[in-house]
Every structure is written in structure tokens, then in C-alpha cells.
Amino acid sequence: MRLSADQAYEKYADRVFAAAFAVCRDRADADDVTQDTFMRYMTHERDFQSEEHVRAWLLRVAVNRARDLARSFWRRNRAPWEEYMTELPFAEPADGRLFAAVMALPERYRTVIHLFYYEDMSISQLARLLGTREGTVKSRLSRGRKLLKNALMEEWNDDE
């Protein structure tokens, strides 16, 4: 089974971008990762088992490429993602606060939180995608939720 590059891009580009942005926290880098991911899809010659397999493959490539980019020397010496926050449209102010809290998480928690909640990936899918055990994914989700709860509770208490 294979989708054309146009079909795959139309269907999954937003998700690939969001996953890349969750890792590298920069719009330009996420755009680059998205483009690179679909270029790799176009040159990948193996067939996929299903559309779900295509989606998982695209997300895995995007996360891995974004991690590589985030680790690069020049990337570590750039402006912070907070400057980009003013450009993002949020329907509710609370959405912006939640996004900022998620982006403030360490990368290992931010990635699993994003993929689990925004991409609706299961724990077993996350474990395969990230190359870890299901127990590791569960503990990262639990710790990430706890960190988010604490951050949002502090903010809520400060507002009172």
C-alpha cells in the first residue's frame, strides 16, 4: 500500500509539522523537518501495510529528524521558542498557556505528551516510534502530566 506524495502530504503534513515543532520548538526548523520528511517519503521505496503504517512512519521520521536538528551545534545557539509564541493564534487564552506549559517540559516528556494527546497515538505505537518500552512511555506520560499539573496549578494559584 502506498499513498502518492501529494496524498500523504495533504493528509499528514499538519501532524508531521506539529510533531516536529513539539521537538524542536521552532517554526522554521519544523518546516524544514516537514519538508525533509516528505522528501524521504518520496524516495522511500518500500510499501506500507496500511495508512496507519504510513502515518506512523512519517511521524517517526519527523521526530528523529527534529531530534537530530535540535542536537546540532548551530541550533543550540539560536533564539528561544518563546519569541514565536506571539505569532501563534489561539482560540482561548488558556490554550496559549497550556501550549507554553507543554513547550516548557523537558523534551522527553514534551514529545510523548504531544504525540499521545494531539496525535492520538497509543502507548504501544509511541514505544515503537520512540524505540523504548511501553513502561518507559507510561512513566514519561505520567511524569509529564505531573509536571504539567504542577506548572498549571502554580499559574492558577498566582492568578488568584
Per-residue pLDDT reduced to its tens digit, 18-37: 999 999 888 888 999 999 99
- Same domain for 20 and 48, yes or no, is yes
- Same domain for 41 and 96, yes or no, is no
Number of structural domains found in the chain = 2
- Same domain for 114 and 72, yes or no, is no
- Same domain for 1 and 60, yes or no, is yes
Question: Around 120, how many Cα atoms within 13 Å sit in the side-chain half-sphere?
Answer: 2
Question: What's 121's DSSP letter?
Answer: -
For residue 153, give its domain range. 89-160
CA distance 11 to 91: 23
Over the Cα atoms of the chain, what is R_g? Answer: 16
Domain at 16, CATH number = 1.10.1740.10
Residue type, 52: E
The pTM of the full predicted model, rounded to 2 decimals, is 0.63
- Same domain for 72 and 97, yes or no, is no
- Same domain for 112 and 57, yes or no, is no
Picking from 82, 100, 118, the residue at the C-terminal end of a domain is: 82
- Same domain for 66 and 5, yes or no, is yes
CA distance 106 to 113: 11
Per-residue pLDDT reduced to its tens digit, 86-145: 666 667 777 777 888 888 899 889 999 988 988 889 999 999 988 999 999 999 999 999
